[in-house]
Each structure stands twice: as C-alpha cells, then as structure tokens.
C-alpha cells in the first residue's frame, strides 16, 4: 500500500491525501480494473515515445506530421503541449508541421529553457538554414504571462540562430490570459491567419 501511495504521489497535482484516496480506490476496485490500469501504463511506455524531430507523442519516429509529403515542412508551428496540435488541426486551415515544447517558461515553477524542448527547435532551424529548409516559425504559445515570455525567449534565440527565418506570433484572437487549449476552431483559425512578424 505504501509503495503504491508513494508512486501515485509522484504524479503532477497529486498530494498525499489524493494519493491515499486513489490507492484505496484501486484496492477496492475489481481485479480486472487494476489490471487494465497497470497494462495501460506499461503499454504507453512500450509503444509511445516523443518524435525526435518535433517532440510530438507518436508510435513511430519520426511522427506522421514530420514525414508527411503533403504537409508544408518549411512552416513550423510551435505549441506548448501535444494536445494543442488537435486544436490547430481542427481549424483545417494549417498545413505546416509542429514543434512541441512540453511546457512554458515559468521562473516561479522552476521551469527554465533547459526544461523545455527548445534546443532541438534551434537545431532544426539551424540545419534548415543551410538547406534553406524552414521559412517561417509560428509561435503559438498561449497569450498568458508564461506563454508570452516563452515566445519572446524563443524569438530571440531564433533570430540569433538564423537571420533568414521569419518568426511570427499568433494574433490575440485567443482571449488574453487564456489557454489556447480552450480556444474554439474559429478563434484559433483567425489567430493563425492574423499572425504578425515577431
């Protein structure tokens, strides 16, 4: 019991109380449920990984977006989380590829540039610059304080890396202070279309 509580406590947003409650729930639930849960955890680690190019969650590396011949590989949209890709895909107005940061800069939360997947974006752009491979990087982080700080940081790094790449920021059709995860398709489409040089 202590072992399970200890493991659950390592999950984000789970404190001691919740970990205990979850552990007791598992204890009381049918054997098959617990089996399915542990199998789902084992399977995700066995079959899913992060794409070595864009950091999206994928079962094949590189992922489907990065190897797609019909998508514009010269246009890269930078998002905070893999779930943000679905929000942008729903607009059906974006045909470029992605780069997932897995978070935003947060001095208070102890998240610095090293904790985010920024390094391989810069490598992508630097390598692309030689083969003139990437034309534009769209910074589609949320218009929150952290999202803006992250966009500013990446923009500065990109300009240092390549003078050829165009850096743009989505328009604030996404309500200020909100997360792009909750943006509807129309809002998201307008904010992509209204992007400006950054």
From the list 20-28, 61-69, 74-82, 137-145, the region that binds Zn ion by CB under 5 A is: 61-69
User: Least distance to Zn ion from the beta carbon of 50, Å?
Assistant: 9
Ramachandran bin of 13, using left for φ above 0, alpha for ψ from -120 to 50, beta for the remaining angles: left
Q: Say whether residue 53 binds Zn ion (CB under 5 A).
A: yes
From the list 141, 132, 140, the residue with the least C-alpha distance to 162 is 132
User: Least distance to Zn ion from the beta carbon of 12, Å?
Assistant: 24
CB atoms within 10 A of CB 110: 7
User: Least distance to Zn ion from the beta carbon of 136, Å?
Assistant: 17
Terminal C-alpha separation, the chain = 52
Alpha-carbon torsion angle 78, 83, 86, 88, nearest 10: -30
From the list 111, 186, 95, 100, the residue with the least C-alpha distance to 141 is 100
From the list 53-61, 69-77, 107-115, 138-146, the region that binds Zn ion by CB under 5 A is: 53-61
Our CB check for Zn ion shows the closer of 19 and 51 to be 51
User: Least distance to Zn ion from the beta carbon of 137, Å?
Assistant: 15
Judging by beta carbons within 10 Å of its beta carbon (0-12, 13-18, 19+), is residue 161 exposed, middle or buried?
middle
Our CB check for Zn ion shows the closer of 56 and 87 to be 56
User: Least distance to Zn ion from the beta carbon of 194, Å?
Assistant: 26
Q: Say whether residue 63 binds Zn ion (CB under 5 A).
A: yes
Q: Which residues here bind Zn ion, judged by CB under 5 A?
A: 51, 53-54, 56, 62-63, 66
């Amino acid at each position: 019991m202590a072992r399970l509580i200890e493991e659950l406590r390592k999950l984000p947003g789970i404190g001691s109380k919740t970990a205990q409650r979850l552990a007791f729930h598992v204890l009381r639930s049918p054997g098959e449920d617990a089996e399915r849960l542990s199998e789902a955890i084992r399977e995700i680690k066995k079959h899913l990984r992060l794409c070595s190019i864009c950091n999206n969650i994928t079962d094949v590396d590189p992922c489907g977006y990065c190897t797609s011949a019909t998508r514009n590989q010269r246009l890269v949209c930078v998002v905070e989380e893999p779930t943000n890709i679905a929000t942008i895909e729903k607009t059906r107005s974006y045909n470029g590829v992605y780069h997932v940061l897995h978070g935003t800069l947060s001095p208070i939360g102890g998240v610095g540039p090293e904790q985010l997947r920024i390094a391989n974006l810069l490598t992508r752009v630097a390598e692309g610059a030689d083969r003139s491979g990437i034309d534009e990087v769209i910074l589609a982080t949320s218009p929150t304080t952290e999202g803006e700080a992250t966009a500013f940081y990446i923009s500065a790094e990109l300009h240092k890396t390549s003078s050829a790449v165009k850096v743009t920021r989505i328009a604030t059709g996404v309500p200020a202070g909100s997360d792009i995860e909750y943006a509807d398709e129309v809002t998201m489409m307008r904010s992509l279309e209204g992007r400006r040089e950054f």
